[in-house]
Amino acid sequence: NSINLEDGLEKFERVAPLARAYGAALVVGCIDEDKEQAQAITRQRKLEIALRSWQLLTERYGIRPGDIIFDPLVFPCATGDANYRGSAVETIEGIRLIKEALPDAKTVLGISNVSFGLPEAGREVLNSVFLYHCTKAGLDLAIVNAEKLERYASIPEEERRLAEDLLYDRGQDPIAAFAAHFRGATARSKPIAAELPLDDRLANYIIEGSRDGLVADLDLKMQEAAPLEIINGPLMKGMDEVGRLFNANELIVAEVLQSAEAMKAAVSHLERFMEKSDSHSRGRLLLATVKGDVHDIGKNLVDIIVSNNGYEVVNLGIKVAPEALIEAAQRHRPDVIGLSGLLVKSAQQMAITAGDLHDAGVDAPLLVGGAALSDKFTRTRIAPRYDATVVYCKDAMNGLDTLNRLMNPDARRELEATLAEHREPGEAVARAGEPAPAEPQVRSSRVRVDVEIPPVPDLERHVEEARDLDEVWSYVNPQMLYGRHLGFRGRFSEALAAGDVKAIDLEKKIEAVKQECRDGAMHVRAVWRFFEAESDGNELRLFEPGEAAPATTFRFPRQRRPDGLSIPDFVLPRRDGARDHVALLVTTAGEGIAELAARAKAAGEYVRSYALQALALESAEAAAEWLHARLRAAWGFADDPSTPRKALFQAQYRGKRYSFGYPACPELEQQAKLFQLLRPDEIGVNLTEGFMMEPEATVSALVFHHPDAVYFSAGVEEEGPTE
């Protein structure tokens, strides 16, 4: 089942040409013809054999590097054989050395051999701890019995310590200490699924997000119940438990999506046996991203979760105008309408859309959600315009819970009574009638003007495609990708370093999507340019080289507070006739991603679909961070190489970048001026009629070098600068 050098080149000569001819991968054992130690025990011997085998296979036999899988070998570390004492740590470190020297190669181990000769319960623990440390060292593939594997995170600390002492050969007699602790202990094998009652098994498939055996058990259940009864019975019981576990912080978004995949597979199988008149719908939701907004990922997550909890979803897509929503509401007669949007302007558009729906006589309950929304904005700005039930939902699962309550008459009455208690209809009307106070125009004294103007290397327009996606991904903020998008709770990087099982599993899922992107699914592109710049009060003027008239003028709001800030404050006054400079940039990672994610969603691959969109969004952000670092270097103040990425994510560097639609520059309309100057259509980015960028995974920004630049919210009297 593998090749090695035990008999010299004999096996290589016989097998390698066949593997190359048929495109097969090869498992290569770390064994050679050495008479004293043919099987490599030490880390150095493992590396030596791997390097020799690699050179032979790639250079002499033409095997692709990615088709070589090294087995560094596992030996029993607790039999008392002096030759194998300490061999476990040699295997762990051998993996690390091989992966460092040959990053394109893969590694594989048969894990359980490490615990041969130990009590059964102890074997489960030792195997789990060994697998964890091997994975951290870079192990790619493992042969394990999943039913005999204890979750690393659930192993008591004392037992982990005993296992690590044995693996790393620490202490006077780690074998005796480990064996004594586990002697007589009961094995911890998982409950056998086949022994559970059938209904519990069906619910468990959904809870675990597993499809292994699902169809066979569905067929068995259909001998005693109709398909619709199965959907509304054990399968929905499983989805209800998924919701409970998520709300109890015991499941994350990625796991909920796995459960949705299992539910989709179950319903798809059962639908083949249902009459056309059968309906398992609990209600109909009309879903849309509001006019002018291209952001799709949050709405699609709602679609997946709600549709796999028994509801019919009519998804109208993005940039849905009020008149299109009204027409769809009249045609589909939904029980509930859901509106999604990301930016401040989208929240304002929701209020307009709510008013238009009301004027057209639509009165279905309205669920609203998005990053710029809040419960207060919903109550004071949206609800008064709709004059019917309007509920703010903070996330997709909260939306599902609200939908369930609205479809239950008693729960709906209770919810509507609560909303009525907190309704504030007069507040929005009063504010709308008040004249806006005059906006200050004076530059803030908090921003110094005695700073030297740094030179820039050129004033040319640059267009580039990132050749190394992994370099760009090194700027991905893991808390945003894994926490905000994929729902991991807590500090992801710390959890991953500590061996948290969910963190490890989530990283593997994203790595699979990254490999798909490396293989051509994703293209990261950027366009940027330095411009000569001047400021005048709240205006920022950009110039072509040496020109007296500005190429364009941006106008920004100023904080309505004493000595308030406005973005143009961060441009230095002319000095000896020389102007300061501002950089403009657009980065994108979205080409083809929406279509690829849609195909995955249609195929029921919900985790992959959502992960593709999330990775694309954060790749565009990472590309902006990557490019901003290069711009700082071009200005002459490159980041110290020792600066941790976490410091960059917290903007702990000189200068800042600002994007339209966010608190310091909320007016999206000015995006058009940036587009006229940079022409990002060359990298596949276009501007919608609502001044948002397509594709969704795109970032634009104005970049300033001033050391006093900070992030802040403009035009709000009570808010000051925010870091």
Residue 533 in this model has a pLDDT that exceeds 90: yes
Specify the 3-state DSSP secondary structure of 56: helix
Give pLDDT tens digits for 567-604: 999 999 999 889 999 999 999 999 999 999 999 999 99
Residue 606 in this model has a pLDDT that exceeds 80: yes
Q: Would you list the domain boundaries of the chain?
A: 10-182, 193-271, 284-432, 462-469+525-591+620-704
CA atoms within 13 A of residue 389's CA, in its CB half-sphere: 20
**Maximum mean pLDDT: which of 151-155, 256-260, 550-554:** 550-554
Identify the residue with better confidence: 718 or 550.
550
- Rounded to whole angstroms, the Cα distance separating 625 from 618 reads 10
**CB-count burial class (<10 Å; 0-12, 13-18, 19+) for 418:** exposed
Which residues 6+ apart lie within 8 Å of 287 measured at CB?
299, 302, 303, 306, 313, 314, 315, 316, 337, 338, 340
Give pTM, 2 decimals: 0.64
pLDDT of residue 319: 86
CATH top-level class of 193-271: mainly alpha
The mean pLDDT value of the chain amounts to 88
Q: Establish whether the linkage from the previous residue to 707 is cis, with ω within 30° of 0.
A: no
Specify the 3-state DSSP secondary structure of 133: helix
Residue 436's pLDDT band, with cuts at 50, 70 and 90, is: low
Which helix or strand (DSSP H or E) is residue 405 part of?
helix 396-406
CATH H-level superfamily of 462-469+525-591+620-704: Vitamin B12-dependent methionine synthase, activation domain (3.10.196.10)
pLDDT of residue 256: 85
Give pLDDT tens digits for 143-179: 988 767 766 766 888 999 999 999 999 988 898 899 8
pLDDT of residue 208: 86
**CB-count burial class (<10 Å; 0-12, 13-18, 19+) for 289:** buried
pLDDT of residue 441: 86
CATH H-level superfamily of 10-182: Dihydropteroate synthase-like (3.20.20.20)
Options 3.90.1300.10, 3.40.50.280, 3.10.50.40, 3.40.50.300; which CATH number does 284-432 get?
A: 3.40.50.280
